[in-house]
């Protein structure tokens, strides 16, 4: 009985791990696609594509809604950076908001300036996760 329980616990732990990494993979694929849409939107003068890309990234970014949720995806030795990781997702959100507002008021050049802030936010978090 004990062996069975242990086996079940191991299976459950593996299952949880798979779910967490599936979730990050799905959301990060969305982040990548969203960024691509934004860039294409600027390249082909397509505002809807920019706005669509913003919405895609914003939705994927919801998984990091506080320090605790950001900490879940950090390696053990990087837990002390949980707050910085969360703040990078927060700055991602504010840069997307800024870009969206500029697109809405037809200030496209100003909107394009926000891309730097977006990529900076992605890279800030990846630098922590990957030890870049
Ligand atoms: C708050 C943290 C955080 C932010 C912000 C973030 N990412 Fe990630 N990203 C991760 C983690 C964690 C992984 C998984 C570990 C890894 O690949 O090193 C990851 C992985 C990825 C991957 C690789 C996925 C794979 O299948 O290997 C891509 C692509 C990616 N992110 C794109 C982006 C883009 C684009 C942005 C910004 C628009 C972004 N990420 C913002 C944490 C973040």
Look at residue 47 and tell me if it is in a domain: yes
Look at residue 65 and tell me if it is in a domain: yes
CA contacts within 13 A on the Cβ side of 55: 7
Quote the pLDDT of residue 123.
97
Whole-number Cα distances in Å, 42 to 19, 51, 71, 77, 128? 35, 11, 34, 39, 29
Which atom of ligand 1 is closest in space to residue 130's alpha carbon? 18
**Nearest residue CA, atom 27 of ligand 1?**
25
Answer for the pair 118, 96: CB distance below 8 angstroms, yes or no: yes
Q: How far is the CA of 17 from the centre of ligand 1 (A)?
A: 17
Look at residue 2 and tell me if it is in a domain: no
Look at residue 23 and tell me if it is in a domain: no
Residue of 24, 26, 28 with the most ligand 1 atoms within 8 Å of its CB, for mutation? 28
Look at residue 3 and tell me if it is in a domain: no
Counting every residue written for the chain, the total comes to: 132
Q: How far apart are CA 36 and CA 31, in angstroms?
A: 9
H helix runs in the chain, sequence order: 2-43, 47-61, 67-71, 82-104, 108-130
**Nearest residue CA, atom 25 of ligand 1?**
25
Answer for the pair 104, 97: CB distance below 8 angstroms, yes or no: no
Q: How far is the CA of 129 from the centre of ligand 1 (A)?
A: 9
User: pLDDT digit string (tens) for 3-31?
Assistant: 665 555 555 555 555 577 899 999 999 99
Q: How far is the CA of 12 from the centre of ligand 1 (A)?
A: 25
What is the pTM for the complete model shown? 0.89
Look at residue 21 and tell me if it is in a domain: no
Q: Which residue segment(s) compose the domain that 93 sits in?
A: 28-130
**Nearest residue CA, atom 34 of ligand 1?**
31
Look at residue 99 and tell me if it is in a domain: yes
Answer for the pair 67, 97: CB distance below 8 angstroms, yes or no: no
CATH assignment of the domain containing 57:
1.20.120
Look at residue 14 and tell me if it is in a domain: no
Total domain count, the chain? 1
User: pLDDT digit string (tens) for 57-106?
Assistant: 999 999 999 999 999 999 999 999 999 999 999 999 999 999 999 999 99
User: pLDDT digit string (tens) for 30-69?
Assistant: 999 999 999 999 999 999 999 999 999 999 999 999 999 9
């Amino acid at each position: 009985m004990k062996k069975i329980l242990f086996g079940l616990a191991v299976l459950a732990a593996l299952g949880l791990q798979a779910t967490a990494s599936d979730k990050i993979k799905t959301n990060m694929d969305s982040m990548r696609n969203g960024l691509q849409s934004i860039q294409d939107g600027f390249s082909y003068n397509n505002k809807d594509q920019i706005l669509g890309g913003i919405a895609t990234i914003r939705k994927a970014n919801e998984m990091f809604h506080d320090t605790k949720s950001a900490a879940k995806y950090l390696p053990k030795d990087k837990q002390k950076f949980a707050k910085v990781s969360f703040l990078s997702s927060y700055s991602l959100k504010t840069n997307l908001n800024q870009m969206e507002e500029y697109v809405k008021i037809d200030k496209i050049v100003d909107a394009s300036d926000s891309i730097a802030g977006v990529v900076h936010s992605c890279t800030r978090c990846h630098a922590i996760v990957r030890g870049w």
